[in-house]
Each structure stands twice: as C-alpha cells, then as structure tokens.
Amino acid sequence: MKELYIIDASGFLFRAYYAIRNMTNAEGESTNALFGFIRSVQKLIHDFQPEHIVSVFDGPNNWMSRLEIDPNYKATRREAPPDLSHQMTWAREFCPLMGIAHLDVPNVEADDTMASVALWAADQGAQVYFCSSDKDLCQFVDQNISMLHTHKDNRIIGPADVETMFGVKPEQIRDYLAIVGDASDNVPGIPGLGPKSASALLQEYGTLEEILKHTDDFKGKKKEAIEENVDQARMSYELVTIDTKIEFPHTPEFFARKLPQMHELKEFYQHKGFRNLIKDLEHDYGPEEEEGEVTYKTVDDEKSLNELVKTLSKSQEICFDTETTGIHPITAKLVGIGFSIKPKTGWYVPCNGKLGTERVLEVLKPLFENPKIGFYGHNVKYDVHIMMNHGIEVAHLSFDTILASYVLNAHERQHSLDTLALTRFGKVKTPISDLIGKGRKEISMWDVPIPLVSDYCCEDVDYTLRLKLELEKELKERELEDILFNLELPLLKVLTKMERKGMYLDVPYLKKLSKEVETKIAASQKEIFAMAGEEFNLNSPKQLSHVLFETLEIPPVKKTTTGYSTNAEVLEKLRHDYPIVEHILDYRQLEKLRSTYIDNLPHQVNPETHRIHCNFNQSVAATGRLTSQDPNLQNIPVRTELGRKIRAAFRPEKPNASYLSADYSQIELRLVAHLSEDPALIEAFRNGDDIHRHTASRVFEVRPEEVTDEMRRRAKAVNFGIMYGQGPYGLSQQLGISQKEAKEFIERYFKLHSRVKEFLEACIEECRKTGKAVTMSGRERAIPEITNKNPMLRSAAERLAVNTPLQGSQADLIKMAMLEIDNLFTERQYPQMMILQIHDELLFEVSDDLVDEVGSAVKKTMEGIWDLKVPLIVDVKVGKNWEQC
C-alpha cells in the first residue's frame, strides 16, 4: 500500500449541502448533498487515481465519549438540516457500489477513526492524505501524513504549511486548540486568548502544560485569563484530543479500490435522478453489455428500398425519425430517414447515398400519405415539418413519445430521447456531437459518413419504439390517454400550421427604431457618467459595483463572492432613493430590448417567406402552458412604450389585412371563482363588475365609487397574489407596505372570501395526499416536494399546488379553444389565420373582409369552450399591427 486517501465523508456532505441547493429525486427527497459528495469523490479519483481509499463517516451517537468530559460539548451546534440525514445514509450506500471502503464506527467521531487509520497506514509505510479541511487533523501532519484540500484546487498541506497557517507546529495543534477553543464544537478554550496569543505562547513554552506551570511569568489580563481557566483549558485539551485506538480492519485489502458495481450503481443513480453521473460512469468504465443483439440496416439501393416499403406497409404503426442539415424545422433539409416496427431493429434510408433525395421521397411518399398507417416519433412535429419541406404530408400521426412523457411527468424538466433512454433503459445514447462535432469544427450531417448516421438514426427509432411501448401502458394505467390523444396530439397539428404560417416582420421599421434607441442609449450613458463623475463600462457588474458602492458610497444591499451585487433585485430596492440607479435601470432596459429584439429579430426572418417562424413547445412548462422559442414571441414586452413599438413591427404582409387579437379577460380569477364557488366572486363576475374595484370596496368597506386607485392597486395585487400562494412578505414587497399591513390585508381578504381560502387549503391538502396537482381536464403535475423535510422546498411546492390547477386549467382551456377554432376554420375553408398564442391570448392575421365574421366566430368559440359558474369573457381587438391590438 503506497498511498491511502482518507475521505472526511461527513465534512464533504455538509459542505455540499450548503453549496448546492434545491435538488430532489422523483419522490421529492433532497439529493443536493449526496450529489456534491459523489462529485467530490469522482474528482478525487479522477485527479489522483488512488489504489487505496476509504470514506469515513461520523458513527451513530458519535458525541457520547466526549459528553462524559463536558456535557456542553457541541451544545451550541445547530441541528443538522432535516433533509440531510437520509442523504448521509445514501452516501454510505454509494461507497461500496463505487468500490470504496467506508467506516462509521458507533459512538465514534469521524476524525478519531480517520486518525487511527492514518497512523496505522503510515506505520505500514504508506503516504497518507486526509481529504478534509478539519483543523483538528492537522496535529497528525508529518512527513508521511498530509492534509489534502480538494475544495481548494487539491492543495496539499504539509508540516511547514501547518506552521504557516497556525503559527505552531503540527504536534502543538492540540495545545493551540485547547487555548483558542473551537466555537463549532463548543470547546471553550481560554477566554480572552486568541490565535496570535496562543501561537506566541506555544512558541515560547512549547505546550499548554508548560504555559499553565508558568503563570507567574504573565501579567494583567493574560495572567488573569490563564489562572481563572486552568481546569477549563485542561478540559478543552481533553476534548480536542483525538482517540487513535479505534478498531478497524488492519488489512490493505480492505482499503483497496475496486471496480464499480455498474448495474447497481446505475440503478442507484437513476433513483436519485443523477442522469449525468450515469453518462460519466459509462465514459470512465465503458457501457454495460446489452442483452441480445440489435439489427440495424442501411437501405441504399432500389431493391432494398422497395422491400422495406413492402415490409413497412404491412404495419399498423411505424416509428420514424429524420436526420437533417440543421435544427430549424422550416429551413432544414433532409439527409435521411430512419424506421422501426419492433424493438432492437431499425432501417436507415440515406438521401445522400446512391438513390438520392428525389428517388427516396418518390418511393416513400405513398407510405407516409397512407391514412391507414399511423406514424409516430419523438418530437414528431419537427419531422412533420421536414417532410412538408419536401412536399410530403404525413397523413396519420398516432403518437409522440415526447408528448407522452410530458403528459405523464410534466414536472420533469427533461424529455429528450437521450434523457428518457437513460432513465428508462439505462442506455447512454450516442451524442450527436460525436458525429458532427462542436463549435467551429461542427460539420453538416450531410457530410457525416452514411454508416455512422445509419447507426445513430437506427438507435433513435429503436429506442423511441421501446419508449412508446412503455409510455402507452402508463397512459392507460393512469387514465391520461385523453389528454394526449384528444388534446396534445391534435394540437400538434394546429401548431405545425401556425409555425409554417409565421409572422411577417417590418424590417425597415425596426432598423429605423434601432437608430432611435441607439440615440437614447447614448444619452442615457452620458447622463449616468455625469452623475457618477466618471466614465466606465456600464455592462460590467464589477465596474458598476465599484462606482455605486465605493465611489458614490451608496449603501450596498447584497454581497456575493465577487463583491457587491448589482442585479435587478438590488437596483430595484435602490431606485427610489438614488436617481442614478433609476437611470441605470432605464439604460439596462433599453439595451436589453435593443439587443434581444430590435437588432436580433431581423436576423430571424426567413429570406424565402419574409416571416419569422418560431417554434411552439408543448413539453416544457409544467403547468401545461405553451412556450415559444427561436425566437420567443410570447415574451415581447407590452407594458413599456418601447416594447409596444417593437410589437408594431409585426403586421400583416398585405395591406388589405389586419391583426385580430382575442384575449381571455381575467381567466385565472374566473377559475378561482368557479373552483372555489365563492359567492362574492361569482356574483361580481356575473354582474360584470370590475373585480379589483369590487374586492377593494369590500376589503376597505367603502362604496365602489369611493375606491381610490391605490385601493384598487392593493386589491389587484391580492387577487392575483393568491393564485401564486403569495404571503405577507411577498405582498409587502410588491406594494411597498409593511409586512404587518400586508398580513392584515390578506386576513381581511380571506375573511370576506372564506371559500377561496378553503379552496387554496384544499389544493395543498389534496396534493399532500396524492403528491400531485390536477387541472379541470385531468392533466396532472407531480409535486413530490410537497412532503420534503426542507421547509423552503416544501413551501415552494405548496405554492405550486395552488397555482397549477388554475394556470394549468387556463392552459387547457385555450388549447381546447385553439382546436375548436382550427376545426371551424377548416370547415369554412378559411386560409391559415391563427399565427400566435400568448398564454390567454390568440392572434390572427385576417383579410379585412373577414374581420367581423372571424372575430365573432372566435369570440363565441372561446367563450363557450367550458361551462363555468361564471361567464368567460373574451376581448377582441383589431389593428393594422400587433401593437394596435
């Protein structure tokens, strides 16, 4: 045994717990400390390749022996976080799976065990490394034993380093700690004597006992402090004395690092939700052998292609996947198509092979356009676009594994095929970067050798098919088929139409606006520099922090590891008291809108269609809402003048057309009224009252006409805040009032709307029982953190339990309305008019002669989509551009 690495497991776990936040597994149990611990162990193994290693934990009841010395030992230490205990247990389980020995001796602290092992190993001739930052262990540092600070770039601490750090030799560390004490363990030491005094005394006298023998040498407060605390100093010395006689296996074989138990470790990682660790495991140790061989074939000649079509034509359902030249579905070109009809099989038909794109599509077109055959894939909307780019309409879409995964597990952030193959089958799929590279060296899939693309694509369709077999069973078992087959899958087709239609953008208008904004930005900069008294880089947080908090001496709000924070939250707190901060926030807003939208949107325009074609995501937001990307057209601001000017750049392409906007009025509040059955809210909505004025009138006990703007503002904040589980603190921050006022305001509100309070509490209680929140249509969102032992995570989960039934039901309603409107437009043989959805609003591009007819039909459809206890109201507006709507 040449070397031995001794891990301070308890120390690693505590450090990781506070360094990493808000990680949980599928059951909602915290996993942050465990993840950090595993990463630290991985790094240690990667950096040092130890042949002998042990992970040492505090044993059960580890304080007992020292409590006999001092009943107050560790009395001041705060209790361990409630969600750390089970992670300690998991860390113990992890060690043997990783091939690492571990020790946790009952009634013994980790440093006692670590020291006992270190001295034995050093005596055997091994070089020993304490992987710990515990200063108590420094007393054992010598030529054979070192400290290794893995969290500080693997800094190795030897005897000279200990002396530099503490001013005493390693063998004097016990005496040193007995004098200065240790607040973390409640070791009292000698009050009044700090590190400098301790090191000076020990340099002169050598040991604590010698110091205590020479009290006559001292004067004043130092003499008094030592003489009054002789017994306490000796007790402290006992407390920091490490027991080096702990029993453990005295064989090098026990400490030898073994190969990981691959299968068991993968299952362990899967349960904890550590997907990337599975990838790391396969990268470091190689993949597990798959049971049974796969049969993947490349089809690149006329005979083979015809035989494939004959085989596929006999199937009721076919899994397919496209390989393309790019990621944007409207502009990407086909490179090849993969097919599968049973597990462990796949065919790949290249378009850049012997047959060529034209011939391949000519043979495959009848297959795709056969309405009797169901086609499915993973994120199949993309593949449908690609086929449409080449003149092929997929007649029958029967499934989509990304949507099925989302419907079943909307709370999960990742639904990619790579992630699902990993979590469901323990399969680490070939990353696309292995084929096309990254960054500047990235090439087109068209230029990748066909055999590589073939294996890659066949693997995709194979695992998509395997995934479908699992997901469709789960959908049936959990009675969620209706959400997929009658809502999400039909909506996919509607969204495809919307994406292909796109939105026309007035590029010359935006270029003109860009110049105006540049002038405003320059003026804003000039004003800020004048107020600061110097020029600096406004986009540099470090320079801005220096100017605000050092040059101008504004009291800082928040300190980070790199200095004083200048984030938006901090500046918002300062804006009303310091005019320069107001100007900085204005500058930031101008700069963000310029870079994100004004200068960027023209680059998103398709040169062939002169329109922007965004992508609508159905599998991102856990509530069921749609999201938009490339670009995100749902996020263009409407509340600022400049935001509205940006919206004005979106207009119909033809002059004899207009935009028509249909917007649900206060739909989530109406859902609160419907679901809570609160009589006051129901009456107000049925009477067509201004709901915020109505609420203010009741809370402030005045007539509606006596409600001031400020009263209405407060009522509005509460009305919307209750949907997000907002408490007194949040409301006080929003309204700029005290928490006491906010608390009283919320209490008055709930006293007047007791049914609303009952409904919110019922949402939380039902979620605790079932672990999920459910919308009116039956959509589910798992919220496993509702029972987490960490109060912050649990509170966040309670807010989700309240918000999800409301926001999720709203999302379902507008999706249903989109389906009905699309069916109606198809029946009336209208051209594609629906172009955008912004949560509770739909936008249409309509020829002027159809505006009244379409507006009436859309309003009627949206308002009648669900029979609520209060009326659904849709506001319809028409304009020559988006801003006018």
For the chain, the structural domain boundaries read 3-255, 295-478, 810-879
Kindly report the length of the chain. 885
64 has a pLDDT exceeding 60: no
Instruction: Check if CATH label 3.30.70.20 holds for domain 810-879.
Output: no
Instruction: Compare 507 and 21 and report the one with higher pLDDT.
Output: 507
- Tens of pLDDT, residue by residue over 411-429, are 999 999 999 999 899 899 9
Q: Comparing 295-478 with 810-879, is the CATH topology the same?
A: no
Which CATH fold would you assign to the domain 3-255? Rossmann fold (3.40.50)
| Integer Cα distance of 885 and 879 in angstroms | 5
194 has a pLDDT exceeding 60: yes
The confidence score (pLDDT) of residue 734 equals: 82
Q: State both tokens at 372.
A: 């009797």
**CATH superfamily of this structure's domain 295-478:** Ribonuclease H-like superfamily/Ribonuclease H (3.30.420.10)
Dihedral sign (CA 812, 817, 820, 822): negative
| 400 DSSP assignment | E
Backbone angles phi, psi at 188, to 5 degrees: -70, -35
| Integer Cα distance of 361 and 393 in angstroms | 12
End-to-end CA distance of the chain: 77
Please answer whether residues 500 and 604 qualify as being in contact, where contact means their C-beta atoms are separated by less than 8 angstroms: no
861 has a pLDDT exceeding 90: yes
CB neighbours of residue 395 within 10 Å: 14
Place of tokens 């926030």: 585
Place of tokens 């990981």: 260
Task: Calculate the alpha carbon distances from 401 to 177, 312, 466, 712 in Å.
Answer: 61, 20, 10, 47
- Tens of pLDDT, residue by residue over 595-640, are 999 999 999 999 999 999 999 999 999 999 999 999 999 988 888 8
Average pLDDT, the chain: 92
Task: Calculate the alpha carbon distances from 747 to 428, 645, 680, 712, 740 in Å.
Answer: 53, 41, 16, 17, 11
- Tens of pLDDT, residue by residue over 310-349, are 999 999 999 999 999 999 999 999 999 999 999 999 999 9
- Tens of pLDDT, residue by residue over 365-391, are 999 999 999 999 999 999 999 999 999
403 has a pLDDT exceeding 70: yes
- Distance of alpha carbon 243 from its chain centroid, rounded? 45
pTM of the model: 0.87
| Integer Cα distance of 99 and 50 in angstroms | 12
